[in-house]
Amino acid sequence: MILFQCVGIPLFALFLWTLHGADSDEWKRQGALFLRGTIAIVPALILYYLLRTSIVPSYAFGRIFLYALLMDHLVFYFALCVGFLLLGRPTEAGGSVFVQICLFAAGFYTLASVHSALSSYGKADSYVLFYLPFLRMITLMLFALVVEKIIAGYGLLRIGYGLVVAALPVATAGITFLYLVHRALLSAVAALALAAVSVALWVIAKE
């Protein structure tokens, strides 16, 4: 059951890399980015456990959303963004910018999912086993697409894409919130809709 948690994200990144037409030489050069992504998870885990000891979950609707936003999405997403700026910025020699960002984010979220698998071992539900890894795949893809546009864009376009980057964890936390308040069907529809948007943007970006 934990197989999807642990290997889903790296396989998804490999799938995107293959669809993007990268060659084996690029993979050899860019493999270090995946490893750098795994390093970037360390401060996220430290912050996660510091917050976990001081924040108590609540059954109030607003607090359920805020807790999900902070603990399942924002802590890790913030660390991903900071880690990317420090360790994962793409280079011209590294080939496809999209692939480079994907590999870094995949390394980051792979370790995040392994952490989730270990911390929830024996008590994991469908959210931890399937929903959260799936949302992280969507985040990985959208993050790579939008950041690539920010790097290539200028002026107001960069600001607009920056707002999309900022809104991404709020969107995924909203899907988590729907699941936690027992709106599983609506949550699944929202997750699939966000995935469809991701695929559509990827197709448009390739043209």
Mean pLDDT of 177-189: 89
Rounded Cα distance, 10 and 169, in Å: 20
Rounded Cα distance, 125 and 121, in Å: 10
- Domain of residue 41 covers 3-206
Rounded Cα distance, 81 and 12, in Å: 20
Question: What percent of the chain clears pLDDT 70, i.e. is strictly above it?
Answer: 92
Per-residue burial over 106-145, b if 16 or more Cβ lie within 10 Å, else e, is bbbbbbbbbbbbeebeeebeebbbbbbbbbbbbbbbbbbb
pLDDT of 23 reads: 62
Judge whether 72 and 132 are in contact, CB under 8 Å.
yes
Mean pLDDT of 21-46: 81
Rounded Cα distance, 169 and 113, in Å: 16
Domain count, the chain: 1
Judge whether 132 and 140 are in contact, CB under 8 Å.
no
Q: Which is higher by pLDDT, 207 or 72?
A: 72
Closest CA to 71 of 151, 188, 173, 163: 173
Mean pLDDT of 185-190: 90
